[in-house]
Structure 1
């Protein structure tokens, strides 16, 4: 919990692929004597770490204020309640749709700007994302989604009863079993539970252990086919704000794929040269490592 603010939700520009913009400072604060210095602007190209599903890390880059360039070492999600009280990241007690709440993007600076933070409100700032790092994370995130859909397809015969289905019509192993997803430049690691509750849901986890090589080969072949199609990728959104709902949308040979997603992505599958997948079974879980290579 920090200061108070009546700022409206931050306008998010990254869904449109924007990597730099001019913006107005609405809030600047230091979290204690040794804490990070955070600046909130009315709009931003920076993608922040999602506080509810922290898979893709926040963007890095620069923020220029008063002619001085500051390194942005992280971008975080913040929120202000009806009384103006400000919360950060996992301390946020509200949902994005709760009335009276505004959601904000905090730019964490490596060094604080000069002067009193209270005097910075209303100042103009230049924001620029580290494009190379963003591109590597976008490639990893796109590959992660493709892997999940290919995995669902390859595991479709291991269900005794069909749970929810994905956007391509396969039983949705990914959303039924996933416990954690971690995205880093060019790579992602996804973990899926294989315990009693999944077996009760109708999945034959024992049969999977004997088919890992075949599943991996099938996923790899399917991913190669999809990449060769060069389908267009877009981020659909129901509003301009950081708390607006967003979906990853992609044209694939089997049909149009659409998944809820708040991250960043490539523009087309033609930007990928290949996707490598490693699948192992650990203690009560399936672990999938996905590596993207850009063309």
Structure 2
């Protein structure tokens, strides 16, 4: 293990994945043993990590190279380090909140080969481009299908609630329970609870209208893909701790959402996007499956 104080006190990991970067040179600031391998913390990285609090997009995989050695990076996760003690908590062990001034935030590159000799040295980091491309497409489709679903459900609200960036009642944000990004696809789950009904959502007759709702959602998605407009990630700063936002200007307005993931450059890259809705027999969960070709397992 490297000196913990030297890496935690110098600030959070700088990240280049918001711009689409796949390679970078970096200095290994910390090495530690994990339950399933070893974790490398660098001063900067192109690797996108899986978020511990909202694990929608899986972490990047790839490689770290140094002195003729190539170590496969099998996962990328979030780590939080105490500025004074250097204590590093990883993924599910993190209990502190972002913004706590006593902690810095890091991308932890998980490797299975012993990496102790890498500490303090400059290495080459490279992300698996095929995996990144698939997950970026899946995440972009997921960010677009939310407002498309909101628009399709607009008439099912009997009370005023928070609106999305296009001005529709934000069902996607209000009701979502989980979201999981895959290669060229995503699965979003919504809780059709009593509290949702109390907020004004009318669920009666929803099962019989799923086909019509799907058609409306898919029509909007097809329109936005055909427009082939730019997709960007707006950042508040260079580090993994800084907030990032998805931004995409379509005909109806600008879709914006807090989002820490990776994305394609334009909507046209998605090709045909298809959304499918499923309502549980008891009516308590709505599942939205979005695909651009076959989702990877």
What TM-score does the superposition give when structure 2 sets the normalisation length? 0.93
What are structure 1's unaligned runs of at least 5 residues? none
Contact residue 6 and residue 80 of structure 1 kept, 8 A? no
Alpha-carbon displacement from aligned partner over 1:141-176 (angstroms, at most 9, x marks no partner) = 000111101000000000001210000000000000
Map residues 59-78 of structure 1 onto 2, 5 A cutoff.
59-78=60-79
SS in 1 for 2:48: coil
What are structure 2's unaligned runs of at least 5 residues? none
SS in 1 for 2:180: strand
Q: How far, CA to CA, are the matches of 1:220 and 1:229 in structure 2?
A: 14
| Aligned residues between the structures | 287
Q: How far, CA to CA, are the matches of 1:207 and 1:6 in structure 2?
A: 60
CA gap of 1:111–1:46, structure 2 versus 1, over 3 A, is same
> Pick from 251, 254, 260: which aligns with 1:253?
251
Match in the other structure for 1:111? 113
Q: What root-mean-square deviation, in Å, do the aligned CA atoms of Structure 1 and Structure 2 show?
A: 1.6
Contact residue 189 and residue 288 of structure 2 kept, 8 A? yes
Q: How far, CA to CA, are the matches of 2:160 and 2:205 in structure 1?
A: 16
Match in the other structure for 1:12? 15
Match in the other structure for 1:44? 45
Contact residue 50 and residue 76 of structure 2 kept, 8 A? yes
Alpha-carbon displacement from aligned partner over 1:17-73 (angstroms, at most 9, x marks no partner) = 1100110000111125xx311111100000000011000000000110222011100
Map residues 1-295 of structure 1 onto 2, 5 A cutoff.
4-7=4-7, 8-31=11-34, 35-82=36-83, 83-113=85-115, 117=116, 119-282=117-280, 283=282, 284-293=284-293
Aligned-pair CA distance for 1:110: 2.9
Aligned-pair CA distance for 1:100: 2.0
